[in-house]
């Protein structure tokens, strides 16, 4: 029982990291129906920028803010120079563009920051907190808090603000959105910028726990994508649910079945869920596409 508690806590920790990345996928998907495979690179760029800004002598908070701004800029640039010119591309072609972008960004990170692995100091103390016989690090709580705040903010943004609703409208029907006077181009830019900023925030939160290097975005992006699909693409609550579920399935699978096959177990569960519910747990069923 002691073990189970620790497994669940670990699952929650890992899961909230996945959830945070999955949220980024959701936002872009909501605005443009595109699954942005460069999402993991946003996480990496956010973290690496902060690391090097701090190395250059900036304070932690300032470096973090600047890093988020830099990453948002990269997101805007991606939309402006790669997604917007390809507006006639099919969904599959757009996916390949984002894959190309992720390779490009990784290549750029390699040139700018090199191949080394780096860490960031934890936001607050590094002393584990005991819960029964299980322990958790303060930074893990920061990740969970970060996830909770972002998901609520994102939900508020899409449900309550004019701009959020406008972005959603773009995703339902671009032409109709345009006809009612929504600046579709601007909305897409906002979505990419926001998603990139979110990715950067995720990078800042997780780097004190998992470290970062130019290639580390790939796996984080992949897991985030899985979480987003598991929960139902485009649903921000689904992304969080998917992320946490994925994390818990992984740790419980590793704990009770086999740590070597834990990822296989997780994917097996995802497949089962999709076979039963083809549009993810909270997904609304997708219109025919691709």
Partner 1 sequence: MRFLKNIVTLLAAFSLVLLSGTGMVQAKDTLKIGSFLAVTGPASFLGDPELKTLQMYIEEINAKGGINGHKIEFVHYDTKGKAKEAKNFVNRLIKKDKVDVIIGGTTSGNSLAVIDIVEKAKVPFISLAGSIKIVEPVKKWVFKTPHTDKMAAEKIFADMKKRGIKKAALITGNGGFDKSGRAQCLALAPKYGIEIVADEKYGNADTDMTTQLTKIRATDAQAIINFGFGKAPAIVAKNIKQLGIKLPVYESHGVASKKFIELAGDAANGIRLPAAALIVADQLSDKDPQKKVLLAYKKKYEAKYGPVSTFGGHAYDALFITVEAVKRAGTIDRAKIRDEIEKTHGFVGTGGIFNMSPTDHLGLNLDAFKMIEIQNGNWKLLY
Partner 2 sequence: MKRLSGFAIFAAVCLLLPVIFPDNYYVTVVGLTIFVNVTLAVSLNLLMGYAGQISLGHAAFFGLGAYSSAILTIKYGLNPWLAMIFGAALVLCLSYVLSRPILRLKGHYLAMATLGLGIIVHIFFVQADELTGGPDGISGLPTLSLFGVPIDSDIKWYFVLCSYMLLSVLFSLNIADSRAGRALSAVHGSEIAAQMMGIDTAKVKSYIFVFSALMATIAGSLFAHQQDFVSPESFSFFFSIELVTMVVLGGLGSTFGAVMGAFILSILPEVLIVFEDFEVLIFGLILMVIMIFLPEGLFVSLKNRAAIMLSKRESGS
Site for partner 2, residues 94 to 123, rule: CB under 8 A: 94-97, 99-108, 110-111
Q: In this structure, are residues 166 and 186 in contact, taking their beta carbons and an 8 Å threshold?
A: no
Widest Cα–Cα separation across the chain: 60
Window 227-256: contact mask with partner 1 (x via CB under 8 A): ------------------------x--xx-
User: 141 is in the binding site of which of partner 1, partner 2, none (Cβ under 5 to 8 A by kind)?
Assistant: none
> Residue 10 and residue 64: Cα distance in Å, rounded?
26
Stretch near partner 1 under the rule CB under 8 A, chosen from 58-66, 94-102, 181-189, 213-221? 213-221
Judged by beta carbon, residue 60 or residue 267, the one nearer partner 2 is: 267
Site for partner 2, residues 190 to 229, rule: CB under 8 A: 222, 225-226, 229
- Identify the bridge partners of residue 134 per DSSP, sorted by sequence position: 131
> Residue 250 and residue 134: Cα distance in Å, rounded?
18
Of residues 233, 239, 240, 252, which one binds partner 2 by CB under 8 A? 233
> Residue 11 and residue 163: Cα distance in Å, rounded?
35
> Residue 137 and residue 26: Cα distance in Å, rounded?
28
Residue 206: closest CA among 264, 120, 135: 120
> Residue 202 and residue 15: Cα distance in Å, rounded?
12
Judged by beta carbon, residue 92 or residue 145, the one nearer partner 2 is: 92
Judged by beta carbon, residue 191 or residue 254, the one nearer partner 1 is: 254
| Neighbour count for residue 162 (Cβ, 10 Å) | 8
Q: In this structure, are residues 197 and 68 in contact, taking their beta carbons and an 8 Å threshold?
A: yes
What spatial distance separates the first Cα and last Cα of the chain, rounded to whole Å? 46
User: 225 is in the binding site of which of partner 1, partner 2, none (Cβ under 5 to 8 A by kind)?
Assistant: partner 2
> Residue 275 and residue 267: Cα distance in Å, rounded?
12
User: 117 is in the binding site of which of partner 2, partner 1, none (Cβ under 5 to 8 A by kind)?
Assistant: partner 1
- Is 216 a residue that touches partner 1 (CB under 8 A)? yes
> Residue 133 and residue 130: Cα distance in Å, rounded?
7
- Is 128 a residue that touches partner 1 (CB under 8 A)? yes
Binding residues for partner 2, rule: CB under 8 A, are 35, 82, 85-86, 88-97, 99-108, 110-111, 222, 225-226, 229-230, 233, 260-261, 263-264, 267-268, 270-271, 274-275, 278-280, 283, 286, 288-290
Binding residues for partner 1, rule: CB under 8 A, are 2-3, 6-7, 9-11, 13-14, 17, 110, 115-119, 126, 128, 134-137, 206, 209-211, 213, 215-216, 218-220, 251, 254-255, 258-260, 262-263
């Amino acid at each position: 029982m002691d073990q189970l508690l620790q497994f669940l806590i670990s699952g929650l920790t890992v899961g909230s990291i996945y959830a945070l990345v999955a949220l980024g996928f959701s936002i872009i998907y909501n605005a443009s129906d595109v699954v942005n495979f460069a999402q993991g690179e946003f996480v990496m760029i956010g973290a690496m920028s902060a690391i090097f800004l701090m190395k250059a002598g900036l304070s932690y908070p300032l470096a973090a803010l600047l890093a988020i701004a830099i990453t948002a800029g990269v997101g805007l640039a991606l939309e402006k120079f790669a997604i917007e010119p390809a507006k006639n591309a099919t969904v599959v072609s757009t996916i390949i563009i984002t894959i190309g972008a992720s390779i490009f960004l990784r290549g750029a990170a390699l040139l700018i920051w090199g191949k080394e692995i780096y860490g960031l100091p934890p936001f607050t103390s590094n002393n584990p907190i005991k819960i029964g016989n299980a322990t958790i690090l303060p930074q893990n709580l920061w990740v969970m808090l970060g996830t909770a705040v972002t998901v609520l903010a994102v939900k508020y943004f899409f449900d309550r603000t004019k701009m959020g609703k406008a972005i959603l409208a773009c995703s339902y029907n671009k032409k109709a959105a345009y006809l009612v006077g929504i600046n579709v181009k601007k909305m897409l830019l906002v979505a990419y910028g926001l998603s990139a900023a979110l990715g950067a925030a995720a990078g800042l939160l997780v780097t004190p726990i998992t470290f970062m290097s130019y290639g580390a975005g790939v796996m984080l992006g992949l897991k985030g994508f899985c979480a987003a699909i598991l929960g139902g693409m485009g649903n921000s609550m689904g992304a969080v649910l998917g992320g946490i579920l994925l994390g818990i399935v992984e740790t419980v699978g590793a704990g009770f079945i086999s740590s070597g096959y834990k990822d296989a177990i997780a994917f097996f569960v995802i497949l089962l869920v999709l076979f039963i519910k083809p549009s993810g747990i909270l997904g609304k069923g997708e219109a025919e596409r691709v």
